Every structure is written in structure tokens, then in C-alpha cells.
Amino acid sequence: MRRVVVTGLGAITPLGVAGIRRTWQRLLAGHCGIVNILDRDERIAQLPCRIAAVVPMGKKVDGGWDPSEWLAPGVGFSISRIIGGADDRRMALFSQYAIAAAEEALGDAGLLGNMSEEQKDMAGVCIGSGIGSLDDVYNTSVTYEKGGYKKVSPLFVPRLLINMAAGHITMKHGFRGPNHAASTACTTGAHALGDASRFILHSDATIMLAGGSESCIHPLSLSGFCRAKSLCTAHNSTPHLSSRPFDSLRSGFVMGEGAGVVVLEELKHAKARGARIYAELKGYGLSGDAHHMTAPPEDGAGAERAMRAALRNAGVEPRRVGYINAHATSTVLGDRAENRAIKSVMLGQGGVERAGLVNISSTKGAVGHLLGAAGVVEAIFSILAVKENVLPPTLNLDHPGDPPEEFDCNYVPKAAQEKDVDVALTNSFGFGGTNASLCFAKYE
Ligand SMILES: *[C@@H]1O[C@H](CO)[C@@H](O)[C@H](O)[C@H]1NC(C)=O
Ligand SMILES: *[C@@H]1O[C@H](CO)[C@@H](O)[C@H](O)[C@H]1NC(C)=O
Ligand SMILES: *[C@@H]1O[C@H](CO)[C@@H](O)[C@H](O)[C@H]1NC(C)=O
Ligand SMILES: *[C@@H]1O[C@H](CO)[C@@H](O)[C@H](O)[C@H]1NC(C)=O
């Protein structure tokens, strides 16, 4: 029986760039990456929501994003730039973030520039995005409308395709195994990890780079989510208070950007090369709500089935789950439905005696909702919780509620908690009614 372990982590988040340590330490310290974004585009001023969780610009050593430190320079101005040109022209920003996160994850796993041709034959990539490059769609539409077809860039289509992040990574590192991408809205990152683990279990690959990337903060996407009444509009002048999962004053999610990539590896292969093992990916569950385009069913039935499936797949009883990283985006209905679902899984058969013993947090208070990257970045937080026995906090949680009597679990309010975690679950739910849950366990 093959087993899948995590041997490398990489992420670009609103809390930092270059090295998961910075993001993780800032998360545990209660920092928040949500800021006012009026300076990005004058049209933002017209919108009801003017905040987002943004990847900071700056030098790598200071935890900032500077594409020139990650991307290959161009080969001059020629027709060959279409296939051999500068990375920042060939790649949309979501692909650039994915390239950087993948490089970090490979370095963390001790695999960067250090793999044989046989290993590369059995190494694959599964990285998706929820929305992709809205910026390119928008700009090209405007250009086309004004100037006609000759104004459309030959790089338009390659920049646009969701699977191009994975494609670029396979080319950069010479991976010739599965080259795949999930695109399931906000469940993308979780599906990518789960599907990639199945490729390893079914012997399609020995090593998989898996994850998701998103960079679609744009007046148009903000307009769309505002019109759907999904975003928080109550904290434009106090952005760090805006994302408040499980709090009775929560009023919508905050859009974020970033990427996460993990190295998943077949256990024997990892052991043979003496790799550091963070945790085992033990279970994966998927379900659909079959209910509504954007709203969850009130009882969270879809979420409940996904969690139960992940636990069944892992062969783990609910009472062993010491930490749940919730999807909880800080919306009134979504958080309530997920809370009900978690309680019905954790308090039923094989679970704990009372809600106070259920340990849940939502890290979206700190990093916002990373959409297609949320599932993987939150999986990374869950993996680190298992590895280091610490629960990351839920920021801004003053009064759990709406209604308060239902919110009686331990939501790790405001400050991280140290405690033994043998098993963690992480949930992801997406528009379209798609739900997934991943189960990580200490490797022993
Ligand atoms: C390269 O791989 C070997 C064996 O798998 C390992 O011992 C070594 O530490 C790795 N080197 C780097 C730079 O990661
Ligand atoms: C789209 O146009 C804006 C405004 O000119 C520019 O700032 C931005 O970089 C463009 N984005 C892309 C992907 O070309
Ligand atoms: C499952 O997915 C849906 C997608 O519409 C999501 O909104 C919902 O929160 C999830 N189901 C729950 C919590 O019951
Ligand atoms: C949740 O944390 C508390 C306090 O550390 C602990 O007593 C309890 O066992 C934990 N719950 C589970 C299911 O492990």
C-alpha cells in the first residue's frame, strides 16, 4: 500500500514572500495582511468594498514580491519572445506566483536542481487557479474594442489559460509526469492536493508539486463579488478588522491573492532519500451540495459529507482530530453552516463529548480569502499545526455568534494555542456547490 507524505512547502501570501516561515510566524503572532487598496486603481474609490489582502511588494529578503528575483529575463526584442521571451511577459501574475511558490517548495524539500532524469519522469505538477488572469481578459477586451484584432497580443491565450501555471513549472524543472490543473472556484487548492495524492497512490507519479494560485484583485472582480453581496463593506477605513470568521459582527469575506505549493511524495521514496517529512496526507473527501449556485444549505450537509469522507478515507475517528482549519470566510451564512457541519461530525459517534473540546480556527482573518489558493495555503497551515503542535488563531473573534449558543467550540480566538495535534482536517468550499476536505496526520 503506497502512502503520501508532505516533504516541501512554499507560499506567497499577504503575510509574506520567500519562505513559509515568515508567513507562519506572522500568522501565529496575529498579524493581518488586509489593507486599503485605493492606491491601486482610481476606480476602486467607486466601489462599496475598497480593501483586500495583498501580497506585499519589496525585496525577497524583506518578505516582499519582486518578480525580477524569481523570473528569467528576456532574450531581447524579437519574435522569439513569444516562446523564449521574458517570463513576466509570457506569464500572467498568477503563474508568476505559482512559479515562485513551486521553487520555494522544491528548495524546502531538498529537490531543487537535485533530481535525476528517472525522478523527473515520475514527477508531476497539479496546480490550478479559480479565476486566472482577469487583468488580461479586461485589458485585451478594451484593446480589441478600440483597435481590432491586430492589437491583440500573441501572448494573450498563453497568459490566460488556467493550466499554464502548471505548464510553466513542468518546463522550468523538466518534470515529465502528470501535468494537471484543477479549477473549482475556492476549492481549487484542496482538490489539487487531493487529486495529486491519488496520482501518487495510483503510481502515476512519485513526486507531485500540488497547489493553487490566484491574483485577480481588480475593480471588475470586486464589482462582481460586491454585486453578489459577498464582500465585507463595513471596514474600508479599518481593514485589519474586516475579516472576522465566526464573530457575530462578521459581514462578508475579503478578497486575497497569493499562491501555495506543496511537495507530495511517495513515502518510500521520501525515506530513501532521507527527506524531512512534515506530515502524512492520509485522507481526502469530496462532495457536492446540489443545492444553489452560491449559498450553502443551512445545515451544511455538503460540508459534513466531505469531512466524513476524508475521515473514512484516512481511517481516523473524529475524536482524534485535534485541529480543524475551517473554510469560514467571514460570511453570516457560510460560517454558520460550516460550524453546524463540523459539530455534527465531531460530536457524533466516535467524536468528543462536548463542543468545547472541538478545536477550530479560520486563518482568513489574517490572509483574507485567497480563492483558488485558499485550499492549499490553509492546508499548509494545517500541516504546520500537525508538525509543530500549535493552532493558528482566528483574528477579530470578539463574540462568537449569530446565534451565540451555536458557536460553543474552541475557535482559537486572537492568539495561537499550543497543543498536541495528531490529526488535522482542512475544509474548502466553492461556488457551484463543491466541497472538499483533506486529512493530515503526524507521520509515524
Ligand atoms: C540532493 O539530494 C541528496 C540525496 O537525495 C541529498 O542528500 C542532498 O542534501 C540534496 N542537496 C541539496 C542541495 O538539496
Ligand atoms: C492592464 O492595464 C493596466 C492599465 O493600463 C496596467 O496597469 C496593467 O499592468 C495591465 N495589465 C496587464 C496584465 O497587461
Ligand atoms: C459547500 O459548498 C458550497 C458552495 O456553494 C459552499 O458555499 C458551502 O459553504 C459548502 N457547504 C456547506 C458549508 O454546507
Ligand atoms: C482540543 O483542545 C483541548 C485543549 O487543549 C483538548 O483538551 C481537546 O482534547 C482537543 N480536542 C481534540 C478533539 O483533540
Per-residue pLDDT tens digits for 142-159: 999 999 999 999 999 999
Tell me the residue type at 373.
A
Nearest alpha carbon, ligand 1 atom 9: 110
- Cα 407 to chain centroid distance, Å, stands at 25
Look at residue 278 and tell me whether its pLDDT is greater than 90. Answer: yes
Vertex 25 angle, CA 192 and 124, to 5°: 25
Show the cell assigned to 236: 474600508
Cα of 40 from ligand 2 centre, angstroms: 11
Pick the catalytic residue from 186, 232, 409, 439: 186
φ, ψ for residue 336 (rounded to 5)? -65, -45
Count of C-beta atoms within a 10 Å radius of residue 84: 13
Instruction: Give me the residues paired with residue 128 across strands.
Output: 212
Q: Is 186 a catalytic residue?
A: yes
Show the cell assigned to 419: 497543543
Assign 410 to helix, strand or coil. Answer: strand
pLDDT tens track for 417-428:
999 999 999 999
For helices 93-108 and 164-173, angle between their N-to-C axes, nearest 10 degrees: 40
- CB distance 357 to ligand 4 below 6 Å: yes
Please choose from 135, 136, 221 the residue to mutate so as to test ligand 2's pocket, defined by most ligand atoms within 8 A of CB: 135
Look at residue 192 and tell me whether its pLDDT is greater than 90. Answer: yes
Nearest bound ligand to CA 106? 1
Q: What is the pLDDT of residue 148?
A: 97
**26 or 86, greater pLDDT:** 26
pLDDT tens track for 301-314:
788 999 999 999 99
Look at residue 298 and tell me whether its pLDDT is greater than 70. Answer: no
Residues in the chain: 444
Q: What is the pLDDT of residue 292?
A: 66
Look at residue 76 and tell me whether its pLDDT is greater than 80. Answer: no
Taking residues 247-269, report their average pLDDT.
98
What are the DSSP E strand ranges found in 129-200? 179-180
Average pLDDT, the chain: 94
φ, ψ for residue 403 (rounded to 5)? -90, 150
Of 184-188, 261-265, 319-323, least confident by mean pLDDT is: 184-188
Please choose from 187, 246, 293, 429 the residue to mutate so as to test ligand 3's pocket, defined by most ligand atoms within 8 A of CB: 429
pLDDT tens track for 316-352:
999 999 999 999 999 999 999 999 999 999 998 899 9
pLDDT band at 432 (very low <50, low <70, confident <90, very high): confident
Name the CATH superfamily, with its identifier, for domain 4-441: Thiolase/Chalcone synthase (3.40.47.10)
- CB distance 276 to ligand 1 below 6 Å: no
pLDDT band at 27 (very low <50, low <70, confident <90, very high): very high
Vertex 91 angle, CA 86 and 92, to 5°: 135
Look at residue 87 and tell me whether its pLDDT is greater than 80. Answer: no
Spatial CB neighbours of 147, under 8 Å, sequence gap ≥ 6: none
Look at residue 83 and tell me whether its pLDDT is greater than 60. Answer: no
Cα of 93 from ligand 4 centre, angstroms: 41
Q: What is the pLDDT of residue 300?
A: 67
Nearest alpha carbon, ligand 3 atom 5: 433
pLDDT tens track for 357-376:
999 999 999 999 999 999 99
Burial status of residue 293 (CB atoms within 10 A of its CB: 0-12, 13-18, 19 or more): exposed
- CB distance 143 to ligand 2 below 6 Å: no
Q: How far apart are CA 11 and CA 89, in angstroms?
A: 22
Nearest alpha carbon, ligand 4 atom 7: 357
- CB distance 352 to ligand 4 below 6 Å: yes
Q: How far apart are CA 22 and CA 27, in angstroms?
A: 8
pLDDT tens track for 340-350:
999 999 998 89
Nearest alpha carbon, ligand 3 atom 14: 300
pLDDT tens track for 108-144:
999 999 999 999 999 999 999 999 999 999 999 999 9
- CB distance 337 to ligand 3 below 6 Å: yes
Domain residue ranges of the chain, discontinuous segments joined by +? 4-441
Task: Check: CB of residue 94 under 8 Å from CB of residue 213.
Answer: yes
Q: What is the pLDDT of residue 297?
A: 65
Nearest alpha carbon, ligand 4 atom 8: 357
CA-CA-CA-CA dihedral for 300, 305, 307, 308, to nearest 10: 130
At 106, which helix (H) or strand (E)?
helix 93-108
- CB distance 63 to ligand 3 below 6 Å: no
Q: How far apart are CA 342 and CA 417, in angstroms?
A: 20
Rg (Cα) of the chain, in Å, rounded? 21
Q: How far apart are CA 114 and CA 290, in angstroms?
A: 46
Tell me the residue type at 351.
G
Taking residues 259-273, report their average pLDDT.
98
φ, ψ for residue 272 (rounded to 5)? -60, -30
Nearest alpha carbon, ligand 1 atom 13: 110
Taking residues 391-406, report their average pLDDT.
97
pLDDT band at 299 (very low <50, low <70, confident <90, very high): low
Show the cell assigned to 341: 457541519
pTM, to two decimals: 0.95
Nearest bound ligand to CA 339? 3
Look at residue 190 and tell me whether its pLDDT is greater than 60. Answer: yes
